Amino acid sequence: MLVIVAIIVIAVVVVGIAAYYVLTTGEEVEPTPTPTPNPVEGATSMRFDVVVNFEGDLLETDMFTVKNLGTSDILMRVDQTDKDGLSFVYLMNQTAQSAWANAMDTGFIDDSANFATYWDSNYIGKPAVDGYMGALANWSGTGSYEYSSGDYSYVISSIVVDPDISDAAFQPA
pLDDT digits (tens, 9 = 90+) for 53-68: 999 999 999 999 999 9
pLDDT digits (tens, 9 = 90+) for 136-149: 999 999 999 999 99
pTM above 0.85, yes or no: no
CA angle 152, 156, 32 (to 5 degrees): 100
Residue 5 pLDDT > 70, yes or no? no
**H or E element at residue 27:** none
If one counts every other C-beta atom within 10 angstroms of the C-beta of residue 153, the result is 16
Q: List the chain domain ranges.
A: 1-33, 45-170
The pLDDT value recorded for residue 166 is 96
| 85 Ramachandran zone, left/alpha/beta (phi>0; psi -120 to 50) | left
The pLDDT value recorded for residue 51 is 98
For the chain, first and last CA: distance in Å? 80
Between 150 and 18, where is the model more confident? 150
**Positive or negative torsion for Cα 168, 60, 140, 151:** positive
The pLDDT value recorded for residue 11 is 46
Q: What proportion of the chain, given as a percentage, has pLDDT over 70?
A: 79
| Mean pLDDT within 113-138 | 96
CB distance 171 to 91 below 8 Å: yes
Distance of CA 118 to the CA centre of its chain: 20
pLDDT digits (tens, 9 = 90+) for 10-53: 544 444 555 555 555 556 556 666 666 788 999 999 999 999 99
d(CA 61, CA 40): 21
**Positive or negative torsion for Cα 152, 158, 162, 168:** negative
d(CA 162, CA 103): 28
